[in-house]
Amino acid sequence: MKSHLLAIGLFMVSLPSIGQKEHNQNNYFLNAIHSETPVKLDGKDEDDVWEKALEITDFWLKYPSSDRKSTSKTTVKAAFDEKFLYFYIEAFDSTNTYTAPSLKRDNSLVYADGIAIVLDPFNKKTNGFGFNVTPNNVQSEYLVEGSLEEVSFSWDNRWFSEAIRYDDKYTIEVAIPFKSLRFDAKTTTWGINIIRSDKKKNEFSTWTNVPVQFAATDLGYTGTLQFSQKLTQQKSNIALIPYVTSELIADNMDDYQEPKMTILPFDPEPSESNTQFKANAGFDAKVAITPSLNLDLTVNPNFSDVEVDEQVTNLTRFSIFFPEKRTFFLENSDIFSSYGAQPFRPFNSRTIGLDKDAQPIPILFGARLSGNISEKTRIGIMNIQTGKKGDFEAQNYSALSFQQRFGSRSFIKGYFLNRDATGLKEEERISSLEKFGRNYGAELNLIDKTGSHMGWLGYHGSIKEGIDTKNSFYQGGYGYFGRNFSGFVDYARFGQNYYADMGFINRLETHAQTGPSYMMPDTSIRAGYQQMYQKTSYTLRPKESKLKVVSWALGLSHYYVWFEDGKLSDKTHTISSEMQFENTSYFKVEYNIQKDNLRYYFPLPSEAPLSPGTYNYDNVNLEFTSDSRKNAVTSGGFTYGKFYNGKIRQYNLNLLLRKQPYISTTLSAQLNDLIFPENYGRTSLVLIGSKIEATFTDKLFWTTFLQFNTQQNNFNINSRVQYRYSPMSDFFLVYTDNYYSNSFLNKNRAIVFKWNYWLSL
C-alpha cells in the first residue's frame, strides 16, 4: 500500500494540471519605494511618497469565477521606511453603504466589505501574514499556513490603519511595523496579494489570478512586492505582555458525582458553596532570536479571556475535536499540528493545560522556538510544564518538529513528542501508561506548482513502557483539485497500541457499556482499525443563470472502517448536491446510506444501550442559509430517516438579528429526536445557544454566550466585556456560570477581572 501510494504521488507531480495555467509570480509586480520621512497615517494620499509611488490596479475576479477581470476598480500603492511598511488603497464603489456586521476585531471578510493584505516575507509559500481593514477601519490580523490554505485569526499583533468613506469610494492607509513581522532584511523581494471583498455584488477580487477552487490567501498565487532598497534590520524585536487577574469563584460541586448517563432523569441534591478569592499575575513574551526565528515565553499564563467553546451534540461513539484558541500556542502552530489529517492529529495543543472537559490545569511556564533557520527549513521546539491539580499529576510536555521544503511547493517534515509525569515521589505509584508517552513520525507531501495535484505519505509511532507491538499508524493519499472536478482518496491504519498523549485520535477508543443495562458500568474499549475515505465532486460555474446560481456542486463520497482482523466496522456512502446563489444564499441536500457493525453496547438510547450487531440505515439531510448580508439571516436544516434500529428527526434552526455594525444576536436551536423500539425508549437531546455581541465602538465590546445542553446536563452563561485602551492592550471583565440543565441548580460561577499590556521593547 505504501509503495503504491508513493508511486502515484511521484507520478502525479510530473503531470501538468488539467486546464490549469501555471502561475508566474513575476507577472505581478508592486514596487515599494522608500520614504525619507514617516508617513502621516490619516487615510489620505497627501504625503510626498504617495505622489512618487506607482500604483497597481486591474484586479482579477476571484469569486464567483476567476476567469475574468473584476469590474470593481481597486488601486494600491506601497512604501516603507526604517520602521514601517505602508500601503495606500482606494476601493471605488457606487455607494457609501457597506456590509459591516461588527466593529469588533478579527472578523473575516467573508461577512464584510473590506481589503486584505497577504504577505509572504520569505517568499517561500510556507507561511505568511494577513491584515484586513474594513471601510469602518475594523482590523483583523491572522497567520496564513501555506501548506494547509488555513488562517488563524487568534494570532494578535500591533499595526495601524485609517479609513475614510467617500460617496464613490473608500480609502485605507496602513502602517505595519516591521517588528510585527518575521523577515530577513537581506531579502528585498516578498510575496504579496491584495484581496477585496465587495458584498453588494457578492464578489471577491484579487490582484493576482487565484483559481476559484483555492483560497484567496493561497501563498502559491502571490505577486511580487519589490523594495527599492535594502531593508533596515530591526535591532530590538521584543514584546512583553504582562497581565494581572483577580477572580471570585463559587464552586458547588465538591460533593457531587456526575451521573454516567446525563440523558437519564436526575435531580442532584444541592451542596454547600465553596467561595474563594484569587489574585494572579504572569506574562508572555515574544523575542525575535533572528529575523525569521521567534521565541515565545510564558510564565503562569491565564486564558480566562479566551472565548468559550461552542457546544455540540454528539451522536457518535467517539470524542469531538475542538480547535485551539489560546494565543500562546498559535504562531507557527502548523509546524507542530499539521501532521495526520483532521481530526487525527498526533499533536493537539489542547491536551496541554486543559483536561478532557476543557477545564484549566495550571501551566507554570513554557517556551516555544519556531520559524525559519534557512530559506527552506522551518523548525519548532517547545517545552511546557504544568502543575498538579487534583488527581492530575504535574506534567512536562516537549515537542520538536521540522519542515524541509523542496521543489516548488513540496516538503518533508518530522517530529518527536514527549510527555512525562513529573514531581512524583518514590512511594507514589501510577500505571505504566501514565508515566510517559512519546511519539515520533515523518510525512512526505508532494504538491505541484499549481497546487492542483497533491500526494501524501506518513508514518507515526508511539512509545509506552512495556508496549512494542501494534504501536504505529500510517497514512497515504492522493488528490486532484481542479476548477470543476475535484477528488481525493486517503487511507490510514491505526494500531491498537498507538497512543497520542499530546494528540487527538478519536476512534481508537470507543465509549461503550459493559452490558445490556445502564445498571452495569460504562467503559472505554480500545481497538485498532483501518479506514479509507474517498470523495469526488463536480462543480458547475455558470456565467449566467435564470436561477441566479453561482455554483452547483454534485458530490459522491465513501467512508470505510475495518477492524484489525479485516472485518467491516462501518461504512457510509453519501450523495450530495449544493448550490451557491448570487445573493449569498446556500442550499444543500445529501442522502446517506450507512452500515454499522457494533461489537459493543452503544449508550445512546434512554432505556438500554443498543445491542451489538449489524445495523443498516439511511437518511436525508437538508441545509440552507438565507442572504448573509441582511440584518435578519436564517439558516438551518433537518435530518430525516433511520438511525441504527430506530428513527432520527434532527431539526436545526439559527436566526441572526443585527443592527450593523453595533448589535448582533444569534439564536440557535437543535433538537435530536431519536425514536427507538420500545425496549430502548425515546431519546430527545436539546441544544439551545445564544450569542449576543455589542460593539459600542472599535475599542469597547461586550459578548455573551448562553448554552443549554441536555446531553451534557449543563446550562452555561459566559459574558465578557473587553476594553482595548491601547493597541493590543486590554481590560477584561468576564462572568461565567454553570447550572444543571435538568434542575437549574448551580454548579459553579466566577467573576474574573484581567488587565494586560503590550509593551514593545
What are 99-118's pLDDT values in tens digits?
A: 888 888 877 888 889 999 99
Output the pLDDT for position 343.
79
AA letter at 574: T
- Tens-digit pLDDT profile for residues 399-438: 999 999 888 789 999 999 999 998 766 556 677 788 899 9
| Residue 140, all three cell numbers | 483583523
Output the pLDDT for position 457.
96
Looking at per-residue confidence, does 260 or 271 come out higher?
271
Is there a contact between 499 and 464 (Cβ–Cβ < 8 Å)? Answer: yes
Does 50 score more than 90 pLDDT? yes
* Helices and strands (DSSP H and E) totals, the chain: 4, 40
Output the pLDDT for position 146.
63
Looking at per-residue confidence, does 16 or 335 come out higher?
335
Confidence band, pLDDT 50/70/90 cuts, at residue 7: very low
Output the pLDDT for position 268.
43
Over the chain, what is the mean pLDDT? 88
Output the pLDDT for position 715.
94
Output the pLDDT for position 293.
83
- Choice among 15-29, 183-197, 730-744 with the minimum mean pLDDT: 15-29
Output the pLDDT for position 426.
54
> What is the percent of the chain where pLDDT is above 70?
92
Output the pLDDT for position 173.
97
- Tens-digit pLDDT profile for residues 593-631: 999 999 999 999 999 999 999 999 999 999 999 998 899
Output the pLDDT for position 323.
82
Does 6 score more than 50 pLDDT? no
Q: How far is it, in rounded angstroms, from Cα 328 to Cα 756?
A: 14
Task: Answer yes or no: pTM beyond 0.85.
Answer: no
Output the pLDDT for position 136.
92
Output the pLDDT for position 21.
67
- Choice among 2-16, 477-491, 561-575 with the minimum mean pLDDT: 2-16
Class of 18-227 per CATH? mainly beta
Output the pLDDT for position 148.
54
Does 255 score more than 50 pLDDT? no
Output the pLDDT for position 415.
97
Does 668 score more than 60 pLDDT? yes
Confidence band, pLDDT 50/70/90 cuts, at residue 18: very low
> What is the percent of the chain where pLDDT is above 90?
59
Give ∠ CA 312-313-316 in degrees, rounded to 5: 120
Output the pLDDT for position 721.
95
Mean pLDDT of the 684-690 span? 95
Confidence band, pLDDT 50/70/90 cuts, at residue 61: very high
DSSP 109-123: TTSS-EEEEEEETT-
- Choice among 411-420, 639-648, 742-751 with the minimum mean pLDDT: 742-751
Q: How far is it, in rounded angstroms, from Cα 484 to Cα 21?
A: 14
DSSP 201-264: TTEEEESS---TTS-TT-GGG-EEEEESSPPPPPS--EEEEEEEEEEEEEE--TT----S-TTS
Q: 259-292 burial, b for 16+ CB within 10 Å, e for fewer?
A: eebbbeeeebeeeeeeeeeeebebbbbbbbeebb
Mean pLDDT of the 439-444 span? 97
Looking at per-residue confidence, does 615 or 341 come out higher?
615
| Residue 9, all three cell numbers | 504521488
Q: How far is it, in rounded angstroms, from Cα 307 to Cα 310?
A: 9
Sorted by sequence, the CB contacts under 8 Å of residue 636 that are 6+ apart come out as: 623, 624, 651, 652, 653, 654
Mean pLDDT of the 28-32 span? 94
- Tens-digit pLDDT profile for residues 115-161: 999 999 988 887 788 999 999 999 998 888 765 556 777 677 789 99
| Residue 199, all three cell numbers | 458584498
Confidence band, pLDDT 50/70/90 cuts, at residue 270: very low
